[in-house]
Structure 1
Amino acid sequence: YEQAYAIYQDMGVPEPASPMSLALYAITAHQTGRPEQARHAFARLAKSERLDESSKLLARLAGLTLNRTRDEVIEHFDELQDIRWQQPESEASLRALMRLTDIMAPAKNQLTWQQQLQAYDTIAQKADNLDLRMEAAIKVAVMQHLAGRDREAVKRLEQLLRRTHRGLLRNDAGALLSEILPNAINAYLGDGQPLKALALVERHRDRLQQQHISWDFLVRIAETFTELELHRRANRIFLFLYDRAKNPTHKGEAALAIAQNFAALGLWEEALNYADRAAGHFQLEQNRNRAYPLQLQARIKALGDDKAAGWLDKHPVPETAPALSLAAEFCWKLGRFDQVARLLEIKDSLSDLSTEDRLRLAEAAYRSNHLDLAQSHFRQLAQNDRFSAQARFRLAQILETRKQKDKAAALYRELAEQTGSGGRVWQALAQDRLKELTL
Structure 2
Amino acid sequence: MTTPTPTRITVVGASAAGLSVVEGLRREGYAGSITWIGEEAHLPYDRPPLSKQLLSGAWETGRLRLRDPGDFEALGVDLRLGARAVALDARKRTIALADGGSADYDTLVVATGTRARRLPGTDGVASVHVLRTVEDALSLREALAGKPHLVVVGGGFVGAEAAAVARGLGCEVTLVTDTAQPMGDALGDELGSMLRAVHTEHGVRIETGALVGQVLTDGGRACGVRLVDGRTIAADAVLVGIGAQPNVEWLAGSGVPVGNGVECDATLYAGSGVWAAGDVASWLHPRTQEPVRIEHRTNAAEQGLAVARNILAGPERARPFDSVPYVWSDQYDLKIQIHGRTRGADEVRIVEGSLTDRRLIALYTKRGRVCAAVGVNMMRALRGYRVQVAEAAVVEVESAV
Q: Which TM class, normalised by the smaller chain length?
A: under 0.3
Give the TM-score taking structure 2 as reference length: 0.25
Higher relative contact order (CA 8 A, sep 6+): 2
Larger radius of gyration: 1
Greater helix proportion? 1
* TM-score, length basis structure 1: 0.24
